[in-house]
Amino acid sequence: MELSEPSWVDEADRRLGPRQSQRWLSAGSCIGRAGTRPKTNGSDRFVRYNARLRPEERSLVHGLREVRSLTASLELPAPVAERAAYWFRTATSKGLLNGRSIEAMCAGVMYIAARERELPITKATVAERSPISEDRIRGHVGVLQAQLSVSIKPATPQEFLPKLASELSIADSHERQARELLEAAVEANVHVGKHPAGVAGAAIYTTATNSGRQLTQTEVAEAAGVSSITICRRHQQLQNYSSEETSGSAETVPST
């Protein structure tokens, strides 16, 4: 059997550390010749390193650090973080940071990256883990979509159903019924203009209570990140699409 020679890479092109990633300013560290490493402590090296960065590079370092922090806080997978870092780099290169908050831009790209993969996440969820309000995140998402031609599909209630069912310890049979209820409601466009997690939560509440499961609107609302009033109103709307008879145990408030 013929053996191939190992590939040879010029010393100047060899790198150590992790593979190239969008989440870091540079990928890996070049192997230097003996005696070239500065004999300073870690703090001194960071100070000297930051002093060499141009203003736009400092913004990039700050933003990528925020992207990594948000990723960890939101417990999102690495591919989403890579995509968010890519969008932040693109926004920086297009000058979109001028006059705008780095943290708000990071929150915006994180939301976009998650929604591109159709993950069940809302702007409110990102705001809970960020110093930026939901309204500001919404505004920055709009800027990114307009300036970078980013296209993301609106979230659907079905995307939030598995996560909510798991958090509320809903039986598989009730989750299937809730999915069927959502499919009927979505087909009738009941979900349009409504918080998708709120609609999904209301579907779980409707099917569970109609089957005799003791579940309160407050419990569902906390899991969905909406108010109990929202769950109540969506529940009243979804009752029209439920194949089960109302158990009468539902809490009610005046509709608006």
Tens of pLDDT along 94-149? 999 998 999 999 999 999 999 999 998 999 899 999 999 999 999 999 999 999 99
Q: Looking at residue 24, what is its pLDDT?
A: 52
In three-state secondary structure terms, 16 is strand
Q: How many CB atoms sit inside 10 A of residue 5's CB? A: 5
Distances (CA, A) of 221 to 122, 185, 200: 14, 19, 10
Same domain? 136 vs 106: yes
Same domain? 63 vs 108: yes
Residue owning tokens 């049979």: 173
Inform me whether the pLDDT recorded for 239 exceeds 50: yes
Q: Looking at residue 53, what is its pLDDT?
A: 62
Residue owning tokens 């590939």: 7
Q: Rounded CA gap, 209 and 245, in Å?
A: 10
Q: Which amino acid, residue 35?
A: G
Label residue 26 by pLDDT band (50, 70, 90): low
Q: How many CB atoms sit inside 10 A of residue 125's CB? A: 16
Q: How many CB atoms sit inside 10 A of residue 71's CB? A: 23
Q: What is the CATH number of the domain that holds 212?
A: 1.10.472.10
Q: CB of 12 within 8 A of CB of 30?
A: yes
Q: Which of 119, 148, 177 is the last residue of a domain?
A: 148
Same domain? 169 vs 192: yes
Domain of residue 203, residue span:
157-241
Helical (H) or strand (E) element with 198: helix 196-210
Q: Which of 148, 167, 195 is the last residue of a domain?
A: 148
From the list 250, 241, 243, 179, the residue with the least C-alpha distance to 215 is 250
Label residue 69 by pLDDT band (50, 70, 90): very high
Please indicate, yes or no, if residue 7 is contained in any of the structural domains. Answer: no
Please indicate, yes or no, if residue 31 is contained in any of the structural domains. Answer: no
Handedness of CA 238, 224, 249, 245 (dihedral sign): positive
Q: Rounded CA gap, 180 and 4, in Å?
A: 58
Label residue 58 by pLDDT band (50, 70, 90): confident
The count of domains in the chain is 2
Q: Which of 148, 177, 195 is the last residue of a domain?
A: 148
Please indicate, yes or no, if residue 216 is contained in any of the structural domains. Answer: yes
Q: Average pLDDT in the 71-96 region?
A: 93
189-199 pLDDT, tens digit per residue, is: 888 889 999 99
Same domain? 141 vs 168: no
Q: Average pLDDT in the 70-82 region?
A: 93
User: Which residues on neighbouring strands pair with residue 30, listed in sequence order?
Assistant: 15
Same domain? 173 vs 234: yes
In three-state secondary structure terms, 29 is strand
Distances (CA, A) of 211 to 61, 151, 159, 208, 224: 53, 40, 23, 5, 21
Q: Which amino acid, residue 184?
A: A
Residue owning tokens 């539902």: 250
Please indicate, yes or no, if residue 191 is contained in any of the structural domains. Answer: yes
Same domain? 142 vs 181: no
Sorted by sequence, the CB contacts under 8 Å of residue 195 that are 6+ apart come out as 122, 224, 226, 230
